[in-house]
Structure 1
């Protein structure tokens, strides 16, 4: 067998040879890269009026210096072809692309195993910055995101290994559980006779959420059978609702010394649950309904907070957290599960109503020392606000929002730290992997709040012709478009709105008015304002403040994976906003029902 450094892997055009450089990292020889070597940047102060979107960004607790921390990146203009622009050779080119893709991943795995066998090489490579060194191989670049580094490669390998392990464990468990009687008991839990042992308790052995920004799902954990328990065990203070499917609810148990509700643990409840869970508890929905019927509606005042995203809602939750007796649930993402299940047609209207009632009752169940509750849900859930008002008319609601230029540039910065998002973008914007593109488009389209309040056909056309950021804009802002239309037409009432700029401009005045609306004594406002002194999303991928210092090294050079926003990105985002009847990224957004104008 040839030594590793002399092995050759075939790609599109010519053999590629992996050679160690004098610094100990890998260099690629054998052909000229098709892209990735020429920096193609855009001046947002020229060409078009919208180019100054980055400069308009004013910074907040979530987003300080979002766009100033991005430097010039490589831009693959040649890879932004539409689905319809296929190679004249048709089938052979697709086969060629597939073969290249296999070669790429084989190369990545080979590299990883080489590093595994040579710790000295790993250490010297990391000492010289190999982990942050981008690949320039065009074959790798055709599959991986731009400026992919060794850390990206290791992350992707870990993801592949995790899901292969998840598949293997699932298959093995299906056989083993049949032999040991676990499967028989699982079937019994679905019946009335199985009520006493209806909760399947599993010990977590591995975990991974990919993408990191995604909502919780059952396959975030690989777990092994522990026991079957009574449904009253679900009422433990250390058991919380993680996610739901159309048939089951998934709870997680956390250690007694971990408070998943506290922002000191994590700014988001969903993240605290994922990071600290030690066991998963699975229960059929029929038994969850029985349990929550006994619990009944919340017995304490509940504030329900909807938002546009990237608008200070996490900051607001942490202001409310300072109120004595207040328990805050910052994005218990089971609410997102329900919204997406309903949106995709996996559950009908009646099932959505029943599941929503049960989950909210469970989330807001009584607890020692808790006299008030505040629940902040993700931007996706505002389409369900009418249902929430119907089921729980006593809840107090508020909707926080921000100008869409700031919302989208802030989203752009933090989601591009996620490898999965950058992989999806590579598929949508690139010319390779065309067989996969239609599936990715369908996956992204399923998360859009399709509605009759805007021209669907126009939005479909815009998305087909635009870039990945067009889809991102539609996923995020379609919810806002539906809510805004419902307010304007009178379908939705009793949900005051609050612009982020007002909260930052006069925090004491706005906080006092907000506390009055939520029936919270204004004597707590002064202490609540101390939340303004810190980064509300510290410790999470969503924090643009925390990551801003990591986006550049000591010499001021870019180290972040976040590429500079381009003219094409801006055009795609504005086109999607226009199709949904929303103002573009340079205009101010005004939504009816301003809290500060109410008497």
Structure 2
């Protein structure tokens, strides 16, 4: 039994931890505010100086198609800052200064990669030679961390350069997934094969999905941008013999858009038991102070009324691109559990619809893979036409922890979830025409590992 002295010590320790967290949050907020203010001042000043020095005239002529040979604007990175590790890549991540103009072919160099897309420009980053931007974490984070120069290019030059490059010259596999499904692990398993390059969550695709979701792109322009983005993400490189594109879970719908242009690519969809996915999402959110604060707002009826944008913003980020209009869900009425379930359900429903329309998406169930990892490796290597002698190396990947956080809480998920959360999740699943929380879902085209 704790003595009053020990209880007092525990209280003091908890207060100390809380004060440290609060201090860190204040410092982070001040740092972000300082960055935003500095960037606004720099961009405002550049509008004036670039107009005086003629830089803006060259950029404007390039957008009109009059300066193709000088349409790649190279800018040196002075300062970088992201809202959070999971925030979608954007030009706002950098404060830059003018370096010069180059021919668009400069983006075909091995150390230059497509970072993001805006309504008017394609944004590339140049990283140091000898640094592998495709390994060590998500592509958008590695690009952000290693970027030395930012190269912006008008979309007309972007399409012309992509057209010159043409379709990928090596086999391409597109991997989509639900959140917290083990997609990073699977991508690293397949990426263990020699000459297999994995593009972990290229945010050029995420930006495209966001632009379409927000109604900022006409359908025809979106299709053309998607084709050009894939062609330049998969640009020729002698070091690469096969490509695996692992898209973010929020853009599963993009598979049906990319298939007509690249019908010979292979399409995989990885998903996991809905109950375990929901439990994992909630467990991850409890580890990060920012997500804990967000969950307090999402799960509180009073706070979500005061801040109505919180639920709508998170729903749009996680499920807005994949959402099924017939589900008729109201984001403002969903808590964190409902939004996480909606993200899972929207992605799974999209995959089922694609199979019904004849798109050859092969489904993978995480639990089936982990039940027999060796059989799964052999079957997947055979499907992707990878040499079977590399299966032993792939098996070693399963022994490493690529997910930093615990994917599933140690406690029994059914007991850990409150009854209200289960009821809300079942309601969301019913709206999508899916079984109740925790029940097995077998999609058409599911690969079995006997």
Q: What range describes the TM-score normalised by the shorter chain of this pair?
A: 0.7 to 0.9
RMSD: 2.8
Contact 1:200 1:281 in 2 (8 A): yes
Q: How far 1:173 sits from its partner (Å)?
A: 1.8
Q: How far 1:329 sits from its partner (Å)?
A: 1.1
Matched, 1:525 2:391: yes
Matched, 1:312 2:312: no
Partner residue of 2:370 out of 501, 504, 507: 504
Matched, 1:134 2:21: no
Alignment partners' CA distance in 2, 1:571 and 1:132: 38
Alignment partners' CA distance in 2, 1:279 and 1:229: 13
Q: Which residue of 1 aligns with 2:381?
A: 515
Q: Which residue of 2 aligns with 1:576?
A: 428
Q: Which residue of 1 aligns with 2:93?
A: 220
Contact 2:250 2:322 in 1 (8 A): no
Matched, 1:389 2:259: yes
CA shift digits 1:108-154 (9 cap, x unpaired): xxxxxxxxxxxxxxxxxxxx97996225xxxxxxxxxxx95322222
SS in 1 for 2:101: strand
Q: Which residue of 2 aligns with 1:321?
A: 191
1:583-598 equivalences in 2 (<5 Å): 583-596=435-448
SS in 1 for 2:131: coil
CA shift digits 1:170-210 (9 cap, x unpaired): 22222222232222222122122211111111111222221
Partner residue of 1:466 out of 314, 319, 334: 334
Q: Pick closer, same or farther for the CA change 1:235–1:131 going to 2, 3 Å.
A: farther
Alignment partners' CA distance in 1, 2:233 and 2:82: 22
Q: How far 1:516 sits from its partner (Å)?
A: 1.4
Note the residue ranges of structure 2 that are not aligned, 5 or more in a row. 1-10, 410-415
Q: Pick closer, same or farther for the CA change 1:236–1:193 going to 2, 3 Å.
A: same
SS in 2 for 1:352: helix
Q: Which residue of 2 aligns with 1:108?
A: none
Partner residue of 1:346 out of 216, 219, 227: 216
Q: Which residue of 1 aligns with 2:275?
A: 405
Q: Pick closer, same or farther for the CA change 1:449–1:292 going to 2, 3 Å.
A: closer
CA shift digits 1:492-529 (9 cap, x unpaired): 43111111111111111111111111122222212211
Q: Which residue of 1 aligns with 2:327?
A: 455
SS in 2 for 1:498: strand
Q: Which residue of 1 aligns with 2:413?
A: none
Alignment partners' CA distance in 2, 1:228 and 1:435: 50
Q: TM-score, normalised by structure 2?
A: 0.87
Matched, 1:443 2:309: no
Q: Pick closer, same or farther for the CA change 1:211–1:222 going to 2, 3 Å.
A: same
Q: Which residue of 2 aligns with 1:485?
A: 353
1:194-213 equivalences in 2 (<5 Å): 194-213=67-86
1:151-170 equivalences in 2 (<5 Å): 151-170=24-43
Of 505-514 and 516-525, more deviation after overlay is shown by 516-525
Alignment partners' CA distance in 1, 2:16 and 2:426: 33
1:17-166 equivalences in 2 (<5 Å): 133-134=17-18, 149-166=22-39
Q: Pick closer, same or farther for the CA change 1:271–1:546 going to 2, 3 Å.
A: farther
Contact 2:123 2:150 in 1 (8 A): yes
Alignment partners' CA distance in 2, 1:186 and 1:152: 39
Q: Pick closer, same or farther for the CA change 1:312–1:234 going to 2, 3 Å.
A: same
Q: How far 1:587 sits from its partner (Å)?
A: 2.1
Note the residue ranges of structure 1 that are not aligned, 5 or more in a row. 1-36, 38-127, 136-146, 538-542, 549-563
SS in 1 for 2:232: helix
SS in 2 for 1:359: helix
Greater relative contact order (CA < 8 Å, ≥ 6 in sequence): 1
Q: How far 1:474 sits from its partner (Å)?
A: 2.4
Q: How far 1:215 sits from its partner (Å)?
A: 1.8
Q: Pick closer, same or farther for the CA change 1:581–1:253 going to 2, 3 Å.
A: same
Higher helix share: 2
Partner residue of 1:544 out of 405, 416, 432: 405
1:562-573 equivalences in 2 (<5 Å): 568-573=420-425
SS in 2 for 1:206: strand
Contact 1:449 1:482 in 2 (8 A): no
* Structure (1 or 2) with the larger CA radius of gyration: 1
Count matched residues: 432
Q: How far 1:418 sits from its partner (Å)?
A: 4.8
Contact 2:201 2:246 in 1 (8 A): yes
Q: Pick closer, same or farther for the CA change 1:159–1:306 going to 2, 3 Å.
A: same
Q: How far 1:534 sits from its partner (Å)?
A: 0.7
CA shift digits 1:54-88 (9 cap, x unpaired): xxxxxxxxxxxxxxxxxxxxxxxxxxxxxxxxxxx
CA shift digits 1:404-433 (9 cap, x unpaired): 111122222334545554454444444677
